[in-house]
Amino acid sequence: RRGMMLWSRCALSLAILTNAVQAAFISSLNGMGLARGSGRGAMLLEPSAMSTTVTRDLFNPLRLASNEHRIMASSHIMSLDFKALRLRGGGLQRAWKSSSASFRGPSKAPAATVRGGKSAGLGAVPEDSAAASETQHASSSWANVVARNPSPAPTVTDKSGNAGVAQTAEQNYTNGEGDAYYFNSYSHFGIHEEMLKDEVRTLAYRDALLKNAHILKGKVVLDLGCGTGILSMFAAQAGAAHVYAVDCSAMADTAFRIVQANGFSDRITVIRGEIEQVTLPVDKVDVIVSEWMGYSLLYETMFDSVIFARDKWLKPGGMLMPDKAAIYLCGIEDAKYKNEKIFFWDQVYGFNMSCIRPAALSEPLVDTVDPGQIATTTACVWEADLLTIDKAGMQVDSAFNLTALRNDYIHALVLHFDVGFTQGHKPIWMTTSPREKWTHWRQTVLYLHDDLAAARGQTMQGRLAITPGRENKRHLDYRLDYEFHGDAVNGERLLAPHRATHLYRMR
């Protein structure tokens, strides 16, 4: 009996401790804005709704295969926006910029990514999201920054009076709950780690700045969406007289501390806020640098903010980095993964779930494509001079013509992009082509509803349109119309051109 009483007390103590840990964990998630609703208004996680199994799954990387990690507990369905992780190809791969596009890694490709509903981030920008939380760090020396979320956040002030972060007028930088979530998704260091480790991206910007030091010396630079401040510090290294680093996420706090730690406080001023609302201490700048590109180049629609800054602050004849951009399209053979992703639903443990197949086909896939899969020529479907383009021009509506390179099948079309820094001493280009080194943007795959058999020299003509999402401007809608002149479609001999129209949504 004594043993039973002791066991009961131990069990009770363990239960209380477990509940306390769960409550603290969920509270921290709510405080970081990681808990949100799924279309029915913001929902904070309740410890009482969490089971031991759910808590364990939150730390299991094999369970975090989706950016929209669904957890069913009691009668509630809650959506946790985790920067998803997936174990594939012998390594744990991270994808912090996700969309409701699906993500995967082919067997011979170096990386896997996320399936989600970009994040920044990863993620889609939902209609409902928890407000970003503000944390005041005693060790940081903010100077007169006032920022406001849907719920007023504490003002962070430099007690010593050091001028490192410029004072801005109180501003509501949420611009709607979708944008609040979008900006908050860039507040975690993980997404910046992913981008900084992308050497193609980071070194292209470094080279564009440092190899043009003779042009940047003594100039005033605006770094739009500065993140950790890495581009601002490159600009300072190149001899810029002063750099104004603007970011709307809480990462601005971290950027200030990074700038201070590296001895650039006298030449880099960090400003937190939306570029459309902040006031710069100068009338004009000589250079604007920004890493604004998203999946398919246009996802997130961040270049709208670059256009605003360019038109308001860039001096006539000033430098925009990058200043050129282009989007390309090609066809690939991808039978293995198409079967795993699309036709999987036809027979699931003996049950017919094929009603899900149309939804699976409508989601673009962000992925690293093996160059050996490319089966057609490549066509440019959009190119722009970023110094002159307006918002209306930041969408695609272009005809294309692809020619088969060999006897093969075409299961999907693939989008990738290039950007150029051409105003410097020597043009520098950065590409996300599957034929070149991997980048964190990977490529965007649009699966066709049919399997096309093409002989070398046979063609596929069509038109591709990419526009901002109707419900959320940071999402993308795709429309593909094509006509195929080839041997067969779905195993049937082709006697006349095959025509089809497909719609896709990246959200």
492 is catalytic: no
Phi and psi for 156 in degrees, rounded to 5?
Answer: -105, 120
Burial of 344 (0-12, 13-18, 19+ CB in 10 A): middle
Question: Distance between CA 189 and CA 251 in Å, rounded?
Answer: 8
Question: Distance between CA 267 and CA 241 in Å, rounded?
Answer: 7
Cβ atoms of 505 and 471 within 8 Å: the answer is no
Q: How far apart are the first and last CA of the chain?
A: 60
193 is catalytic: no
Catalytic option among 68, 300, 333, 363: 300
Catalytic option among 68, 194, 274, 291: 291
What residues does 383 pair with on adjacent strands? 326
CB atoms within 10 A of CB 498: 18
Cβ atoms of 304 and 394 within 8 Å: the answer is yes
Strands (E) across 21-90 are located at: 35-36, 68-73, 76-81, 85-88
Would you give the DSSP letter of residue 328? E
Phi and psi for 406 in degrees, rounded to 5?
Answer: -160, 175
- With a CB cutoff of 8 Å and minimum separation 6, the contacts of 3 are none
Both tokens of 502, joined, read 């497909």
Q: How far is CA 283 from CA 279, 311, 312, 313, 315, in A?
A: 9, 12, 9, 7, 9
Q: What share of the chain is helix, strand, coil (3-state, %, to 5)?
A: 25, 30, 45
Catalytic residues: 291, 300
